[in-house]
Structure 1
């Protein structure tokens, strides 16, 4: 009997220990704004849009000022979710399109964290199963890609917005004015339901991507037009989510990341947006050059804040290169979840950076700027090389590009990004050795990831159709 009692007590102790350990696993929240520019937040220099709650996150956490996403919506989301450059990821039927059909055999953050006991929710914009509110692939929606709960929209809000809860459409032509509030309500409800379990919350707001709208509390109240109203409302509801973490005593064990999917949208040349009165509905990448869809800095470099009161030192600005690609391996390391060993992951664990470990440096120190399928530029350390090109597969995006930023050039352009973030002074003739070094790095990316005219050796294909039908003749 004594042996049975001791065994029972031992088992109970083990269960209690495991429960305690599980309870201490950190939660992860990624707040992913849509088309929010590098210069649209107060803590990144904006003086016209009031963002006190996000600014407070930066004061209490860490601001990354050399942080990269991709330069357009769908590929940016697949890069974040999988930790891989979009051209490396497998697509359904191997078709590479502007907005991906992310293959079901690709592994998302939700799938990587699940074996470690995490519950995951995708709330907001998905855009990985087809760029349409109605003609999307149901087999590629969030709950088929590792998420336990989904409330949001299949794609972007260009024309209208349908809302789904899991697999059921619950609202057609939803009210954009209340969208930010509603999605935050759903995010808070998910946190409250799962406060006793480690969780991953991916809150992908559809705005400030057009079509814009705001509730009466915010509409017409900013000094930056409707765009400013939308960002100020986004700031307010971000504060509500943080308040919930404090109320539930989850702050110490929750990492919150606030960032954007790409740079701001330039709509002054688009007849479609002119007709809809949306020319002023884009943000600012100041002091960076370029906009969304470009491979100038303003297209892919975005604001990023990492907050965790227990482990992230307050008030620090980190100028090392970091990327949305790095979220997956970083979360896995913090959660004690193994990374997949059957595939290349481009992201790196940046835990030492976000914890401000002494002498921590970027584990990648590089970034490749793709436009659709074409490698346009490469950054290493302080230097960025725009590759020479006569072919430009992204010419269809010129309508969203300032005329002075449309360059097809036969010689490379070299800029020091630290001293010249607006990319004005071409130093290629002064530093041929750096041009040669970055050209070699670009050639390695072409061979591994691919380019508009070649298939990378490390690109993934799971379907029997021709690999890269866009270049298969």
Structure 2
């Protein structure tokens, strides 16, 4: 046996202790903190539930979106917060019913109204968390400088300020005397979109800026918002995609949009960001059906854009995040665009807005827990502030109201709209969306207890948000942004 003097033994123990401490410190230093995921949010314009080949589209295919659905999850019961442009976009970025924000309809050029800068957007919350934030595409929340994206939490913006049918050359808007439509970079107008050839470059221009943003910010977390202006009319596509589908110009546009999504997904993989990026694909509302062959498909749901029936609200929702979001899953749980903000905020470690929001967090469902039901009910508001329907679970009570209908009218052709009416009188009806997703069979007489339950829920909405149909003012409605007089 080797004898080690006491002093030497202490020295040996000290050396081993230091080595052990060094190894522990080394292991602690070498283990990096989790990197918050990047977020890419596609928001299409007037794309209906049935406009992807995975949801039944015919005469063209959307292979990139179909692959996104296969590699991620598809949420088949996903609703736009309101079936019209500006209101829907306000809800997405704030997590609120748009009428809570004082916003309705679609803002025109030079509107004195926009999203109130006091509202906190998803971009502001993520920017506070250290994210780079960019938007490329259609804004439509006010075109005055104080309402533009750079004043609403975005670092970069290149896009159009409102719908590209609000321009002098649109055949259905000839009498509107709209001003010229320009691309906006940051806060400044750039080149004019003069004709359909220029409009045919919209999708590729938006995509090019989105790809550049990914490359520029690949070393830090980013939030990339891509609200594509198409397939809203007027339809236009680049030369590369003209005549590529059997569906005509609408199919060509959808083919190009699908390719644009594929380019973004490929760039994420190229930059090594694929597995740490949450990608969400949704639409702002259903199809503008009276444009006929230039309109999309509601996938069998009733009516379309501008209505409180499912065809106006039900939109595609695909979510992809490899290793986190289950692949190949279809969920039928009720969700809305308002639920994007609290969900993304939680995933990215951001706080929620200081003022009340209406969105709910569905992170557990997103990650695969199908036992949870994040959202219990939904209010269908339209026009200025009319409560036209209320839903709880699979039961939907539609209240008597005047509104838009496309039914009974011959749809338009070649870019010109067919007739429709905004004053059709819809009767009250109770619909069981499990068996009757097209909302054709009123079952109020069979289920008076369900009617009573939904009426009580509607009264809560009217007290909170108001109801123009009943001339009620809500207690918790905030003001939209307004240009100073």
Please give the range of the TM-score, normalised by the shorter of the 2 chains: 0.7 to 0.9
Q: Does 1:359 align with 2:359?
A: no
CA contact under 8 A between 1:124 and 1:153: conserved in structure 2? yes
Partner of 2:460: 444
Alpha-carbon shift at residue 406 of structure 1 (Å): 6.7
Q: Does 1:295 align with 2:308?
A: yes
Q: Does 1:142 align with 2:160?
A: no
Cα distance in 2 for partners of 1:13, 1:340 equals: 39
Alpha-carbon shift at residue 461 of structure 1 (Å): 3.0
Partner of 1:25: 36
CA contact under 8 A between 1:290 and 1:401: conserved in structure 2? no
**Deviation per CA, 1:196-215, whole angstroms, max 9, x where unpaired?**
11111110000000111111
CA contact under 8 A between 2:303 and 2:405: conserved in structure 1? no
Q: Does 1:325 align with 2:338?
A: yes
Alpha-carbon shift at residue 464 of structure 1 (Å): 10
Cα distance in 2 for partners of 1:313, 1:244 equals: 22
Cα distance in 2 for partners of 1:318, 1:402 equals: 36
CA contact under 8 A between 1:72 and 1:292: conserved in structure 2? yes
Q: Which moved more, 1:399-408 or 1:231-240?
A: 399-408
Cα distance in 2 for partners of 1:462, 1:73 equals: 16
Cα distance in 2 for partners of 1:97, 1:239 equals: 32
**Deviation per CA, 1:300-325, whole angstroms, max 9, x where unpaired?**
11011001112001000010001110
Q: Among residues 160, 171, 183, which one is paired with 2:206 in the alignment?
A: 183
Cα distance in 2 for partners of 1:282, 1:464 equals: 33
Cα 1:74–1:403 change in 2 (3 A) is closer
Cα distance in 2 for partners of 1:46, 1:396 equals: 23
Q: Among residues 192, 213, 217, which one is paired with 2:215 in the alignment?
A: 192
**Deviation per CA, 1:295-354, whole angstroms, max 9, x where unpaired?**
11000110110011120010000100011100110011001111123x211001111111
Q: Give the total of aligned pairs.
A: 427
Cα 1:447–1:381 change in 2 (3 A) is same
Cα distance in 2 for partners of 1:402, 1:413 equals: 25
Partner of 1:267: 290
Cα distance in 2 for partners of 1:403, 1:461 equals: 32
Partner of 1:456: 474
Q: Could you say what the CA RMSD is over the residues aligned between the two structures, in angstroms?
A: 2.6
Q: Which moved more, 1:292-301 or 1:400-409?
A: 400-409
**Deviation per CA, 1:395-453, whole angstroms, max 9, x where unpaired?**
6999989879975255x301111221111111111101101111111111111122222
Alpha-carbon shift at residue 463 of structure 1 (Å): 7.6
Q: Among residues 186, 201, 209, which one is paired with 1:166 in the alignment?
A: 186
CA contact under 8 A between 1:64 and 1:317: conserved in structure 2? yes
The secondary structure found in structure 2 opposite 1:227 is helix
Q: Which moved more, 1:75-84 or 1:175-184?
A: 175-184
Cα 1:419–1:404 change in 2 (3 A) is farther
Cα distance in 2 for partners of 1:309, 1:61 equals: 7
Cα distance in 1 for partners of 2:201, 2:482 equals: 44
Q: Among residues 270, 275, 287, which one is paired with 1:247 in the alignment?
A: 270
CA contact under 8 A between 2:404 and 2:424: conserved in structure 1? no
CA contact under 8 A between 1:71 and 1:293: conserved in structure 2? yes
Partner of 1:385: 397
Cα distance in 1 for partners of 2:321, 2:462 equals: 37
CA contact under 8 A between 1:325 and 1:347: conserved in structure 2? yes
Cα 1:438–1:170 change in 2 (3 A) is same
Partner of 2:322: 309
Q: Which runs of 5+ in 2 are unaligned?
A: 1-21, 108-112, 168-180, 410-416
The secondary structure found in structure 1 opposite 2:213 is helix
Q: Among residues 431, 438, 449, which one is paired with 1:415 in the alignment?
A: 431
Cα distance in 1 for partners of 2:102, 2:57 equals: 38
Partner of 1:3: none
Cα 1:17–1:406 change in 2 (3 A) is farther
Q: How does 1:66-77 map to 2 (within 5 A)?
A: 66-69=77-80, 70-77=82-89
Partner of 1:340: 353
CA contact under 8 A between 1:40 and 1:49: conserved in structure 2? no
CA contact under 8 A between 2:84 and 2:105: conserved in structure 1? no
Q: Among residues 447, 459, 479, which one is paired with 1:431 in the alignment?
A: 447
Cα distance in 2 for partners of 1:379, 1:401 equals: 31
Cα 1:17–1:141 change in 2 (3 A) is farther
Cα 1:339–1:219 change in 2 (3 A) is same
Q: Which runs of 5+ in 1 are unaligned?
A: 1-8, 130-135, 269-278, 466-473
Larger Rg: 2
Q: Which moved more, 1:429-438 or 1:82-91?
A: 82-91
CA contact under 8 A between 1:37 and 1:284: conserved in structure 2? yes
Cα 1:205–1:305 change in 2 (3 A) is same
Alpha-carbon shift at residue 218 of structure 1 (Å): 1.2
Cα 1:13–1:194 change in 2 (3 A) is farther
What TM-score results when the alignment is normalised by the length of structure 2?
0.83
Partner of 1:232: 255
Cα 1:97–1:225 change in 2 (3 A) is closer
